[in-house]
A and B are shown apart, each in its own frame.
Chain A
Amino acid sequence: MIAVPVAPNRATRAWRGLNTDTAVIYGVLALVALISWGLILANGGQINLANTLVRSVALGMVAVGQTLVILGGSLDLSVAYQISVTAVMASYVMQGDPNRMLLGIGVVIAIGIAIGLANGLIITGLGVNPFITTLGMALILRGVLNSSFDNFAGAVPAEFQVLGYGGIGPLPYSVLLFLAVVVFAWFLLRHTRFGHHLYAVGGSEETARLSGVRSARVLIGAHVFCSLTCVLTGLFIVSRLGAGAPWVGPDGNYDLESIAAVVLGGTALSGGKGGVLGTVAGVLILALLDNLFNQLEVNTYLKDVLRGVIIVAAVAAYSLRSHRSRA
């Protein structure tokens, strides 16, 4: 008898499609959650899931944007200052007036699109390395911001602060917004032509271009998307703080932390491999660790050391694994 290969049904295919790398990362996340919650409970602390989630939102949204540019083989080191620009401009334009809320949001979205376009065009049109382009952009934004504002500028109206503090039942609006961003980015990557082209460009820009993908447009699109996630993060932060100041982005270390979250989530820094679901796990791992360190009252400076060790160790574990499976 010849065994007839049975076409796998939809569910099996979906299960296999959820690639094993993502499964491993969620395993790590579960492990980190169990260990950190165990340690917190053993020390008589309390687990505050809602708090951990809200703390993940700011880093989470920008990390999703960072995932897209990294998938395309690029990166964005200017996200921290883009967040500052959004926070400052939103509160400066709104001036605490509820009637100017839409105007403020419109202005920061326009600025975000402009910055994303500039980054993308400089990289693809002028052929400048993404590292240098976005580092230069960070310097430019920092210079313009610090020479125009030196403290909290303006204010956002109380109605706008609902974004940071309000919610439907137990679910904060900010967490819903984060989920919406994740689902949108996931759909974009999995089910649209743009997403498939982005993976192709990140895998090999030249091959993608020679196969007819307009790689420049794809990469510019990814940068604009990333800048828009910075706008959302900036709006969320300013809604929590009530006003924006030039240091809110760099103080949160969003540039390097977002890249760390993406890599922790299993996305290859060289592009073409990974996805937003992994990044969400990466962000949650960082937030859980933060929560753990705070609950255990670990010295602030020692936290940096531990975080550095954990990031490198986690990435080493992934890369060793994928290296072995290739060999």
Chain B
Amino acid sequence: MISTSTTTGFEQELTSSWQERLLRGVRGTAPIFVVLIGLLVWIAILNPNFTEPQVFLAFLKRAAPLMILAAGQLFVIVSGEFDLSVGSLITAVVVAAAGLTEGDPNRTWWVVTALFGLGILVGLINGIVTTRLYVPSFITTLGMLLILQGAVLYWSGGAPRGSLPDNFRVFGRRGIEDIPVIEQLPYSVIILVVVGVVAVLLLHRTTFGKQLFAAGGNPRAAALSGVDVPLVRTLAFVLSGISAVIAGILVGGFAGISQDAGAGYEFQAISAVVLGGAALGGGRGSMVAVMAGALALEALFTLLNLLGLPKPLRDAVQGLIIIGAVAYAAYRLRRAR
């Protein structure tokens, strides 16, 4: 694959004042924020209600699963790999939750625990097969996609059984009520903020994060300077698996049980990561920009919907915009050199 850059984020850490750092940060990742603000303003013009807190929070609630999923995917992509199995993991989470709880609220907690166990297990297998058996992650996670998809359909016999208890759906559906001004603060938005903060700190403020960048930028150099590359990559896959479980619980909450609950999410997450300026192939990326990329993608869906475009044309426009955005980013990178 042709990688456009192998620059690591180290030089940004060496600047002097915080103003300079802020300016540099804004300049480095500006395009996606400009695009995001442009999309949000356009939506607000078409639908003035959008600026009301409840409506905007409802939008954030819809965007939360993709943003969380993109955050998980970024860990994997920064380390130089792919995770194509997350969409089918979301489906597996939704279908398994319905089948295991059978609508019984008493079972919710152990089922949620088991689902996290599943996510961690899937991440571990993806990571170990990729790093210890030297299978390209594209193939590993593609195989995992086939396995999870087939297993879910086999287990449910082609039609999902059971139902989700209310205390499971609460995360994706409800929120803290009776708050002044915003009326309701959705749980999914709270989860999104917590996941976002943890993800930013983990990627940009810890040794583990720096090792991920190093492993993705130049695995050999990283290994020679003492980074356990297979270990950090495996941990990245585990984080991606966990993020897919969280996203799956939210999707199950507001969208309900469906055979294709997670269909297409893997490509959307990768698109969001690339829109956020991260390099496929590893070594470069910013968590905040990537989550903004996911929000921009969700805003784009909302906008195309508001414009009354039929579903098929929305696909075409989405394709054009993803290519256009990445082409623009590549152009900026070339000019900067």
Binding site for B on A (CB under 8 A): 73-75, 122-123, 126-133, 135-140, 142-147, 205, 256, 259-260, 263, 269-271, 299-309, 311-312, 315-316, 319-320, 323
Contact = CB atoms under 8 A, between A and B. Distances in A.
A37 B15 CA distance: 67
* Chain A interface, >50% SS class: helix
Interface in B76-96: none
A128 B1 contact: no
B2 A135 contact: no
8 contacts: A127-B327, A129-B326, A131-B270, A140-B316, A142-B319, A143-B315, A299-B154, A312-B135
Nearest to A299: B154
Interface of B: 1-4, 129, 133-136, 138-140, 142-147, 149-154, 158, 267, 270-271, 274, 280-281, 310-320, 322-323, 326-327, 330-331, 333-334
Contacts of A303: 150
A316 B135 contact: yes
A319 B154 contact: no
A270 B1 contact: yes
Contacts of A312: 129, 135, 139-140, 143-144
A123 B129 CA distance: 30
A128 to B, nearest CB: 5
B4 A260 contact: no
Nearest to B151: A305
A320 B326 contact: no
Contacts of B135: 312, 315-316, 319
A308 B274 contact: no
A301 B1 contact: no
Nearest to A138: B319
B147 A136 contact: no
Given A143-B319, A259-B142, 6 more contacts: A135-B322, A140-B319, A142-B312, A143-B313, A312-B129, A312-B140
Given A301-B150, A302-B154, A122 B323 contact: yes
A147 B139 contact: no
B134 A139 contact: no
| 3 A-B pairs closest in CB distance | A143-B316, A304-B150, A139-B319
A237 B267 CA distance: 27
